[in-house]
Chain A
Amino acid sequence: MSSPARSTARSAAPEAPTRARAAIVGGNRIPFARANGPYAHASNQDMFTTALDGLVARFGLQGERAGEVAGGAVLKHSRDFNLTRECVLGSRLSPATPAYDVQQACGTGLETAILVANKIALGQVEWGIAGGVDTVSDAPIAINEDLREVLLDLNRARTPVDRLRAAAGIRPQHLVPELPRNAEPRTGLSMGEHAALTAKEWEISREAQDELAVASHRNLAAAYERGFFDDLVTPYLGLTRDQNLRPDASSESLAKLRPVFGEGPDATMTAGNSTPLSDGASVVLLASDAWAKQRRLPVLAHLIDAETAAVDYVHGGEGLLMAPVYAVPRLLARHDLTLQDFDFYEIHEAFASTVLATLKAWEDARYCRERLGLKKAVGNIDRSKLNVNGSSLAAGHPFAATGGRILATLAKLLAEKGSGRGLISICAAGGQGLVAILEAA
């Protein structure tokens, strides 16, 4: 009872526990593929529609009108302005199902679920589908920015002379297209480079990172072996399991890899302990308990609450991917919980070092006091409860699809256990972090 988190909880939102809660009924995803692999020629629309149709088949939703479908992609073609609605129209759901796009970087998938769940909790919709998709293989390539401006000038030109003048602005170097970059616009650093800064600051060892990566592969492989994903994954384009999964990954094999992020002899981040660029899609079926019961569908877990934080990684001296560290204590406080009150922790493995830095920060009393404004450390977790069925290091990480993967995985874990509580933590570009609490039904 001495936790500072608890003392703030009572004043923050005393009525929180009485809110209606959305049920997680189930999920579906296609196996995640490595970039330019089996899904190289699949579009976001192809993959998300397939994921939706797999969900429809699993739960017999053919021709049904969902309250809404919320989806999104981080890397998106301009023609996909209405991506999710287009996918719904191409799916077996009723064409009368409304849909909208969301984009919150790697938090997209979880954010869509929060949005749909909130509407369910408020009674605005009875059931809905949340999810996300991303392809790095079928990435949008835009025309050169300077050329774009010339062409727009050309379009605005009224007279032949104006047109000639505008057209004269075209230069050979304009042929170089604009490629999407995995870099923060305000720092110019890639996400890996940012993570390397944090890894160095928190002195995360190479061995600890490799160990986390090995556990991710082993846990994911074991989950596949025991059929855990039989009702969560539908094969696609010949891929039946996540392509990145290496069941035989070992600390020895990972130790041979050369660092790819960070500089100098003490660089620790390799292709083995960082997520690969991936393609994939995932969806989650959310509903009111009443709807699920009426249709004889299971309630795996309830989405209790969620919190999003953002940090100033540009000028504030905070790591780009450290926002979940801030979000979790705020969420715990709202529910009068401690970090130790969970049976499962799903911490998105953007990089092994991100997970380890997150855990280390919560254990650091000074950091918790100075940065998080707490009276003492958030504390440590039982590592045997962390990512027990693997996470992004093994499965891969198609940005917007990761939230759906984690939600469905954790919900089923809780359903198997039959009781308990799980914590989700997902870091996202722009210094953002989304966290959520699930409870067994």
Chain B
Amino acid sequence: MQARSADWYQGLVHNPIGGRLTRTLGLPAPALLRRYRVGQPLLEGPALVGSAPGGRMQDVVVRIVNQGAGEVVTEPSESDRSRWAAVVFDATGIGEVGSLVQLPQFVGPAFRRLGRSGRLLVLGTPPESLDDPEAAAAQRALDGFVRSAAKEARGGATANLLYVAQGAEAGAESTLRFLLSARSAYVSGQPIRLKAGDPTPAPTPNWEEPLAERVAVVTGAARGIGAAIAEVLARDGAHVVCVDVPAAGAGLAEVANRLGGTAFQLDITAPDAPARLLDHLRQRHGGAHVVVHNAGITRDKTLANMTPDLWSSLMAVNLEAQLRINRALLEDDALHDAARVICVSSTSGIAGNRGQTNYAASKAGIIGMVEALAPSFALRGATINAVAPGFIETEMTAAMPFAVREMGRRVNSMGQGGLPVDVAETVAWLAQPGTAGVTGQTLRVCGQSLVGA
């Protein structure tokens, strides 16, 4: 989908001469990440699945891996040296700190045999749902464990933690599939919380097209991450309404035509923008199931040089427009029940960034908005989440000075920048009807960036 060649160093490492050179010099070798292609199996190799006593998730995991035509191993043999495509440990039943030693016992030896772009997935019980302090401590300990394991992972492997609430087991499938598959290529070191859905989402009939029959709106779709999001949602079966400012209409029409969607030119900061968007969705599509707020701008200046104009013009696009549209969506039947709203934040909004007081403030504001709106959307069976991309290879990052760009690219556990498609895959997972248990959260797509972890 996107060229890998944006990263010159990765290209060097993966050509025969450059590879020898970098190995000789002892330089790191960022892996070529396995990325999703239509028809790709869930896992390419066996999965090792284990559980601490009292675990609730092993059956679900085994069923999903088997459905994905993958082999499940529960008792690893010493003689077998094959590489694991995934190692899954169900720690949901751990209630005592002493039991945590099963992590090094089970995951430790297996971790060494984790294959390229392998997946370590630990399943836990949300600590905040536990009354017993020790149980809460033990469950929270999983977070530190997984984050550290993610930093030790090599060869494009990831480590993530999924906290599954009591009663949410049956609704975990879309999230388990996302975290095990190549769709989560650049998501690592992240804890995700899964609530019990009410009602439990209907089963997804076709995992190749989980968004079939759905209408999705993507703002800022004319290029970059927005175009990638539109493309992945369309690939997953959605009809995509591509939105961007009228001035970006040429690129917007190209994107819409490429993926068989429609182009809707709209300045989301216009006072009547929410009404126009909703009217359009109602009239042309009978409403929308998915809304992706991706449109955003940068107006970088250090704080001393930040003018109110630069501040306000950015806030209008990055935060205020989303707030107004979300408010309108909540009150309007143009948004179907059980809808999915996804807002694009940024690791700048978590960690801060020099020269981006306005941008980081807006992106942090999105995280606050998502948390605050989640209960209201829940009343309609809908979810609202944010994704926070780290360093993503786009036109915007390509325009950065060399040293800054190299810094941004390397200071993460994967040793490379992500691609727009990595953000898009994460959005597409949150957009699925089956992902009903994830809401009010901000998921980072940053290769476990060292900043703001």
Residues of chain A having any CB pair with chain B under 8 Å = 50, 53-54, 56-60, 62-63, 92, 227, 229-231, 233-237, 240, 296-298
Could you tell me if B266 and A57 are in contact, using CB atoms closer than 8 angstroms? no
Could you tell me if B284 and A297 are in contact, using CB atoms closer than 8 angstroms? yes
Q: A235-B249, A296-B283 are in contact. Are A62 and B260 (CB under 8 A)?
A: yes
Instruction: Name the CB-closest residue of B to A56.
Output: B257
B-chain residues with CB within 8 Å of residue A233 when the two chains form the complex: 246, 249
Which one of B239, B247, B263, B285 contacts A240 once the chains associate, using CB atoms below 8 Å?
A: B247
- Determine the distance from Cα of A216 to Cα of B248 in the docked complex, in whole angstroms: 26
A-chain residues with CB within 8 Å of residue B283 when the two chains form the complex: 296, 298
Could you tell me if B246 and A230 are in contact, using CB atoms closer than 8 angstroms? yes
- Determine the distance from Cα of A171 to Cα of B241 in the docked complex, in whole angstroms: 62
Could you tell me if A58 and B257 are in contact, using CB atoms closer than 8 angstroms? no
Among B247, B260, B263, B270, the one with the most A-chain Cβ atoms within 10 Å of its Cβ is: B263
- Determine the distance from Cα of A63 to Cα of B257 in the docked complex, in whole angstroms: 9
Residue pairs across A and B with Cβ atoms less than 8 A apart, 9 shown, are A58-B262, A60-B256, A227-B272, A229-B246, A233-B249, A235-B249, A237-B250, A240-B249, A297-B284
A-chain residues with CB within 8 Å of residue B266 when the two chains form the complex: 227, 230
Is B253 an interface residue when CB atoms closer than 8 A count as contact?
Answer: yes
Is B300 an interface residue when CB atoms closer than 8 A count as contact?
Answer: no
- Determine the distance from Cα of A56 to Cα of B260 in the docked complex, in whole angstroms: 9
Could you tell me if A227 and B257 are in contact, using CB atoms closer than 8 angstroms? no
B-chain residues with CB within 8 Å of residue A57 when the two chains form the complex: 242, 252-254, 256-257, 261-263
Instruction: Name the CB-closest residue of A to B273.
Output: A227
User: How far in angstroms is the closest Cβ of chain B from A189?
Assistant: 39
Could you tell me if A53 and B253 are in contact, using CB atoms closer than 8 angstroms? yes
Inter-chain residue pair count (beta carbon < 8 A):
70
Is B267 an interface residue when CB atoms closer than 8 A count as contact?
Answer: yes
A-chain residues with CB within 8 Å of residue B276 when the two chains form the complex: 227
Interface size class of B (residues with CB under 8 A): 20 to 34
Is B286 an interface residue when CB atoms closer than 8 A count as contact?
Answer: yes
Instruction: Name the CB-closest residue of A to B265.
Output: A230
| Shortest 3 CB-CB contacts between residues of A and residues of B | A57-B253, A57-B263, A57-B256
Instruction: Name the CB-closest residue of B to A236.
Output: B250
- Determine the distance from Cα of A50 to Cα of B256 in the docked complex, in whole angstroms: 13
Q: A92-B257, A296-B283 are in contact. Are A58 and B263 (CB under 8 A)?
A: yes
- Determine the distance from Cα of A58 to Cα of B249 in the docked complex, in whole angstroms: 10
Could you tell me if B267 and A227 are in contact, using CB atoms closer than 8 angstroms? yes
Could you tell me if A296 and B250 are in contact, using CB atoms closer than 8 angstroms? no
- Determine the distance from Cα of A105 to Cα of B284 in the docked complex, in whole angstroms: 36
A-chain residues with CB within 8 Å of residue B260 when the two chains form the complex: 60, 62-63
Q: A230-B246, A240-B247 are in contact. Are A54 and B262 (CB under 8 A)?
A: no
Instruction: Name the CB-closest residue of A to B248.
Output: A235
User: How far in angstroms is the closest Cβ of chain B from A190?
Assistant: 34
- Determine the distance from Cα of A297 to Cα of B285 in the docked complex, in whole angstroms: 9
Given contacts A53-B257, A234-B252, 8 further A-B contacts (CB under 8 A): A53-B253, A56-B253, A56-B257, A57-B242, A57-B252, A57-B254, A237-B250, A298-B283
- Determine the distance from Cα of A159 to Cα of B170 in the docked complex, in whole angstroms: 91
User: How far in angstroms is the closest Cβ of chain B from A287?
Assistant: 14
Instruction: Name the CB-closest residue of A to B256.
Output: A57
Among A56, A59, A233, A235, the one with the most B-chain Cβ atoms within 10 Å of its Cβ is: A235
- Determine the distance from Cα of A231 to Cα of B245 in the docked complex, in whole angstroms: 11
Instruction: Name the CB-closest residue of A to B280.
Output: A231
- Determine the distance from Cα of A59 to Cα of B280 in the docked complex, in whole angstroms: 12
Q: A227-B246, A227-B270, A235-B250 are in contact. Are A296 and B286 (CB under 8 A)?
A: yes
User: How far in angstroms is the closest Cβ of chain B from A250?
Assistant: 26
User: How far in angstroms is the closest Cβ of chain B from A106?
Assistant: 26
Could you tell me if A235 and B263 are in contact, using CB atoms closer than 8 angstroms? no
- Determine the distance from Cα of A230 to Cα of B245 in the docked complex, in whole angstroms: 9
Among A56, A60, A231, the one with the most B-chain Cβ atoms within 10 Å of its Cβ is: A60
Could you tell me if B262 and A235 are in contact, using CB atoms closer than 8 angstroms? no
A-chain residues with CB within 8 Å of residue B270 when the two chains form the complex: 227
A-chain residues with CB within 8 Å of residue B257 when the two chains form the complex: 53, 56-57, 62, 92
User: How far in angstroms is the closest Cβ of chain A from B255?
Assistant: 8
- Determine the distance from Cα of A214 to Cα of B448 in the docked complex, in whole angstroms: 59
User: How far in angstroms is the closest Cβ of chain B from A411?
Assistant: 16
A-chain residues with CB within 8 Å of residue B248 when the two chains form the complex: 235
- Determine the distance from Cα of A57 to Cα of B240 in the docked complex, in whole angstroms: 11
User: How far in angstroms is the closest Cβ of chain A from B244?
Assistant: 11
Q: A230-B266, A234-B265 are in contact. Are A54 and B249 (CB under 8 A)?
A: yes
B-chain residues with CB within 8 Å of residue A54 when the two chains form the complex: 249, 253, 263
User: How far in angstroms is the closest Cβ of chain A from B287?
Assistant: 11
Instruction: Name the CB-closest residue of B to A238.
Output: B250
Instruction: Name the CB-closest residue of A to B239.
Output: A60
Could you tell me if A296 and B285 are in contact, using CB atoms closer than 8 angstroms? yes
